[in-house]
Structure 1
């Protein structure tokens, strides 16, 4: 994957920390020299179904993996003619996110407009207009990508009341490597081609991960509802056989079940209760770094897999007395935020009222865990396009297949083994995907800062055709409204 590229003969210190060394022939310039204008967008008014309606690109339309805005069904807004003409986007224009963001996804992200649709852009964005006598748009795009990935963008961000705002004046003071325009063109063309190839590989791997996740869910569902373990079924005596007789369960998510079992409501097997919180929860008297019971928050469960092994906080003796204690091996279910995620604790802990637990459940807990893990019992519990809503009553009324306890154990043991195999494949694929993403970031940085020499790179169609394709004279006439 990581092929070797040749380097320039001689380098010099750029004097800029994020850039490092550059080829002797290259320069360094600030964005204010390389940029003609940064034009802020407008949100306009609600669509009026008249000639002043026009597509409006939002930050939400960014493809953040590819740094582009693809053709899609954009929001329609209404702007007067002069504003539309002022803000009209051309294909390949650069759009800079100026407001919004957060710690994990800061503002300052740049995406290239790749649609043919006439569109303007919203007020949380700005269009970067490069000085084309100095710098090519596509090269500037990749420089901005590298600045963002290197987190250099954080130096020009102001944050108030949780909202980040890009300081345009400070952004324009960012220093950029500047090779000759012919080298810029080759670097941009090379990166467009290579990053597209890498993106295609990443996309295939992500599709594979999605298929493996769906396969895992189907394996779990078949096992807990039909007792199907691979190509065998568990019969009434707990033996593995080639086939068994089925009947309709009458429950949508379950479908057919073995004739010798029934579907029962969870509340017939156990009480369902909610956790509890000491109040007010931010009072330090409820916490103790050396406390006996860990304090479980939704975030602790979200980042865990099947088992809870640790939490970020522990409760004091007083705090634990005002919550609900769980012992090792107990199962509980989130009913807030990451709704419907089950987990089995491997530590002594306390849960708040964003979880429900099953204090009298005497069946195999891992079997119940896999029923929830399949996510199928939640089908139909939320309106289309909305988050499901769970509480003790809803969870208690969920019907589940009721195998005898020894069969539940066999099913759970099989699923432990099978899901581990599938998870290993998923994790290996994720690791490989991350390696390609890291390689892509490294390749962009090394190309735009001259760590690799691309002067001999062959442009498709030759330099004259490439120069024409990158020139502003290839702009289309795209004046106004939505058809």
Structure 2
């Protein structure tokens, strides 16, 4: 990729009169949206109108540039236009639309006047860049309603330059997006490889030549001959100790992160006024989110804390029966999670429950504590390498996204000059 700092510049610039924009090329203008577009809004589309085999796409705040929320039989728009999400969405969600389609009432619409001399793809890039920085003073979000969009100032180069810039950005952003997509696939493969290594090690050990035996449990299958098979009721006690004042660290249990402090969860979650009576857990306790165990929502705690009274807390009868990380990996392996799904009770998948007596009835196949430690030492090294590779790919994706954002900003604001030769390259 060419460095943006090495790209051509315009010969003469002038003050744009817009503080955040600064200087623009001398031949460019600054215009307000209402000078260029008829501003409208989508309509309320009822669920009854959405049909499986409809003819025209429906766009809402949830759809991306090529996304389709649903289809309906009639259409509101039969022209090329720009849409943006108004209330309830982040700024920067500005898309170019063409052909017959519908827009829901959370979308604003811009239809160009006949003599506005705008290239819609260029304006889409420009507004996507501008609205990323837009913040309504009365909200925490970046909402732009119709009356506010009307007064947004946009850069207006000569129409032939708009077309050239749009064509260049279409070409270059497509290449960047393709590179990002390739790296995202590589990350998915690395994560899949990581899970395969973990599953193989915790369910069959490290020696591929070790004699195997039938575990006697259909869903577990074969395990190394020297491993033990026992029911969980002989391994764990269910613990129901309660907090007297609720001052202990509040913990959460999910299928993604296991047992983690609620304070580290980057999501909006309901907080109670008083946690007195919450269940206590200590280091190395197994904690199961009974409602979401069918997804693998369980983990081994690495600290003292409190969890929901509806969670299950289980403690090893004999200390050092399990390496805590090995135990969590084993119970999150595919066959075990499939077992939770099979025996959990409930009328619907999202209402399934995996209770303590179900865990106690479950058989487990596992090696000695010493072998578990060997397995975990091996997995630590293997997963560390994979995690470093994933981090490297993520860093490259972030750089590509930053480059894309900077390239768009530089092109639509005139910081760089897009020549005909650059479009052809």
Indicate the TM-score class for this superposition, using the shorter chain for normalisation: 0.7 to 0.9
Q: 1:405 to 1:380 in 2, by over 3 A?
A: closer
Deviation of residue 380 (structure 1)?
6.0
1:480 paired residue number: none
The answer to whether 1:392 aligns with 2:389 is no
Question: Can you list the C-alpha shifts for 1:181-222, whole angstroms capped at 9, x where unaligned?
Answer: 111111111111111000000001111111111111111111
On the 8 A contact 2:8/2:417 being kept in 1, the answer is: yes
2:30 paired residue number: 28
2:337 paired residue number: 378
Q: 1:360 to 1:413 in 2, by over 3 A?
A: same
Deviation of residue 99 (structure 1)?
3.8
Q: Distance in 2 between matches of 1:388 and 1:224?
A: 29
On the 8 A contact 2:39/2:150 being kept in 1, the answer is: no
Q: Distance in 1 between matches of 2:233 and 2:52?
A: 57
Q: 1:440 to 1:76 in 2, by over 3 A?
A: same
The answer to whether 1:244 aligns with 2:233 is no
Q: Distance in 1 between matches of 2:139 and 2:373?
A: 56
Q: Distance in 2 between matches of 1:50 and 1:354?
A: 40
On the 8 A contact 1:146/1:445 being kept in 2, the answer is: yes
Question: 5+ residue gaps in structure 2?
Answer: 266-272
2:107 paired residue number: 125
1:43 paired residue number: 45
Deviation of residue 226 (structure 1)?
0.9
- Aligned 1:44-63 pairs, distance under 5 A: 44=46, 46-47=48-49, 54-59=55-60, 62-63=63-64
On the 8 A contact 1:36/1:129 being kept in 2, the answer is: yes
Deviation of residue 333 (structure 1)?
4.2
- Aligned 1:282-431 pairs, distance under 5 A: 293-297=248-252, 308=260, 311=263, 322-335=277-290, 340-353=296-309, 355-360=311-316, 362=319, 363-364=321-322, 365-374=324-333, 376-379=335-338, 381-382=340-341, 386-387=349-350, 389-393=352-356, 394-431=358-395
On the 8 A contact 2:252/2:260 being kept in 1, the answer is: no
Q: 1:356 to 1:69 in 2, by over 3 A?
A: same
- Aligned 1:127-142 pairs, distance under 5 A: 127-131=109-113, 133-142=116-125
Question: 5+ residue gaps in structure 1?
Answer: 234-241, 279-284, 288-292, 462-483
Secondary structure at 2:211's aligned position in 1? coil
Q: Distance in 1 between matches of 2:146 and 2:154?
A: 16
Secondary structure at 1:19's aligned position in 2? coil
On the 8 A contact 1:130/1:136 being kept in 2, the answer is: no
Deviation of residue 96 (structure 1)?
1.9
Deviation of residue 166 (structure 1)?
3.9
Deviation of residue 261 (structure 1)?
3.2
Q: 1:265 to 1:20 in 2, by over 3 A?
A: farther
On the 8 A contact 1:328/1:348 being kept in 2, the answer is: yes
On the 8 A contact 2:50/2:70 being kept in 1, the answer is: no
Q: Distance in 1 between matches of 2:18 and 2:389?
A: 42
- Aligned 1:401-480 pairs, distance under 5 A: 401-459=365-423
The answer to whether 1:270 aligns with 2:236 is yes
The answer to whether 1:169 aligns with 2:152 is no
1:109 paired residue number: 93
Deviation of residue 126 (structure 1)?
3.4
Secondary structure at 1:271's aligned position in 2? strand
Deviation of residue 326 (structure 1)?
3.8
- Aligned 1:196-275 pairs, distance under 5 A: 196-227=174-205, 229=206, 232-233=207-208, 242-247=209-214, 250-252=217-219, 254-273=220-239
Q: 1:376 to 1:93 in 2, by over 3 A?
A: farther
Deviation of residue 398 (structure 1)?
4.5
Q: Distance in 1 between matches of 2:176 and 2:422?
A: 19
2:270 paired residue number: none
Q: Distance in 2 between matches of 1:168 and 1:39?
A: 8
Q: Distance in 2 between matches of 1:17 and 1:266?
A: 68
On the 8 A contact 1:216/1:422 being kept in 2, the answer is: yes
Give the aligned CA root-mean-square deviation in angstroms: 3.9
- Which has the higher mean CA deviation after the structures are superposed, 359-368 or 445-454? 359-368
On the 8 A contact 1:99/1:107 being kept in 2, the answer is: no
Deviation of residue 390 (structure 1)?
4.6
Q: Distance in 2 between matches of 1:259 and 1:186?
A: 70
Q: What TM-score, normalized to structure 2?
A: 0.80
Secondary structure at 2:95's aligned position in 1? strand
Question: Can you list the C-alpha shifts for 1:349-389, whole angstroms capped at 9, x where unaligned?
Answer: 33233643322353221211112343542226459995584
Q: 1:190 to 1:164 in 2, by over 3 A?
A: closer
Question: Can you list the C-alpha shifts for 1:230-256, whole angstroms capped at 9, x where unaligned?
Answer: xx34xxxxxxxx34234365443x343
Question: Can you list the C-alpha shifts for 1:451-475, whole angstroms capped at 9, x where unaligned?
Answer: 11113445459xxxxxxxxxxxxxx
Deviation of residue 145 (structure 1)?
1.6
Deviation of residue 13 (structure 1)?
3.5
1:69 paired residue number: 66
